[in-house]
Amino acid sequence: MNTTLQALHREALWQEMPETEPVRQRLYRVLRQSIIQMQLTPGQALSEKEVADAFAVSRQPVREAFIRLSEAGLIEVRPQRGSYVVKISQRAVLEARFVREAVEIAVARQAAVRGLAPEVLTELHDLLERQRQCVAPHDYARFYQLDEAFHRALSFGVQQSAAWKVIEDVRVQMDRVRYLSVPDSTPIARLIEQHTEIVAAIEARDERCAEQAMRRHLREIFISLPDLVRRFPEMFDAQETAALIEEANQ
């Protein structure tokens, strides 16, 4: 009897979803979110039957959600044995950052070269303003939502939805780390400052500057990775050393 799963079932995220949406999608989103937010912890076992019972659905849609989760690299399905939330892999995190950096820099560059439509710029400025309102109340959760919206608006601003899909996919690997490091992560104010720089460079149509601003912004995030490995060793995969981080920063 898994009380965590029952709690998830009672939570708003599950309840508030439209009935029309397929069960497997709702399950996928709930489980994904729970893994990212560490409610389902790395290494934890998840069985199809257990989840099915907790959510009062049959095993089939659960199974289909599991398949999607395993493709996203969030759980590992071992046939005839069990399914497990994968531990955080430093290598996976850094590889995710590599991909994200490559794509987001290309997006920023394209935005600077081509320019953005006025309504997109308006939206970006609006998002910046709303982000600033999160600083004083230390509203991390709200800021993360707005942060996601900001990067999303950039990708859609240059009409690259496939790029956004990739960014979303690799983000999940990074987000678990982010949740671990909420207290001692880069201050919100600093991130907003970087967002502002990015928008300014795009408006100035300065390709190089936009590129560099985005690179700085994305590299900010994992200052604390080796520290986290020391503090939460059970969350991480293996004995991957901090040498990896040195590598990644060139």
**Positions that interact with its own copies (CB under 8 A):** 22, 24, 60, 63-64, 67-68, 71, 79, 92, 95-96, 98-99, 101-103, 105-107, 110, 113-114, 159-163, 166, 169-170, 173, 247, 250
C-alpha pair distances (Å), 93 with each of 103, 141, 150, 220: 15, 21, 21, 14
Instruction: Pull the structure tokens for residue 37.
Output: 């937010």
List 18, 79, 118, 183, residue binding DNA (CB under 7 A):
79
CB of 24 or CB of 176, closer to its own copies: 24
Rounded Cα distance, 20 and 173, in Å? 29
Q: Contact, 112 vs 124, CB < 8 A?
A: no
Q: State the alpha helices, DSSP H only, in 72-187.
A: 90-114, 118-132, 140-157, 161-180
User: Among its own copies, DNA, none, what does residue 96 contact (CB within 5–8 Å per kind)?
Assistant: its own copies
List 11, 64, 203, 240, residue binding DNA (CB under 7 A):
64
User: Among DNA, its own copies, none, what does residue 58 contact (CB within 5–8 Å per kind)?
Assistant: DNA
Under the binding rule (CB under 7 A), the answer on residue 63 touching DNA is: yes
Rounded Cα distance, 120 and 205, in Å? 15
CB of 20 or CB of 250, closer to DNA: 20
Under the binding rule (CB under 7 A), the answer on residue 31 touching DNA is: no
Under the binding rule (CB under 7 A), the answer on residue 82 touching DNA is: yes
Rounded Cα distance, 42 and 12, in Å? 23
Please state at what angle helix 161-180 crosses helix 140-157, rounded to 10 degrees.
Answer: 160
Under the binding rule (CB under 7 A), the answer on residue 46 touching DNA is: yes
Closest approach of its own copies to the CB of residue 247, in Å: 8
Q: Percentages helix, strand, coil for the chain, rounded to the nearest 5?
A: 70, 5, 25
Q: Which residues bind DNA (CB under 7 A)?
A: 22-24, 46-50, 57-61, 63-64, 66-67, 77-83
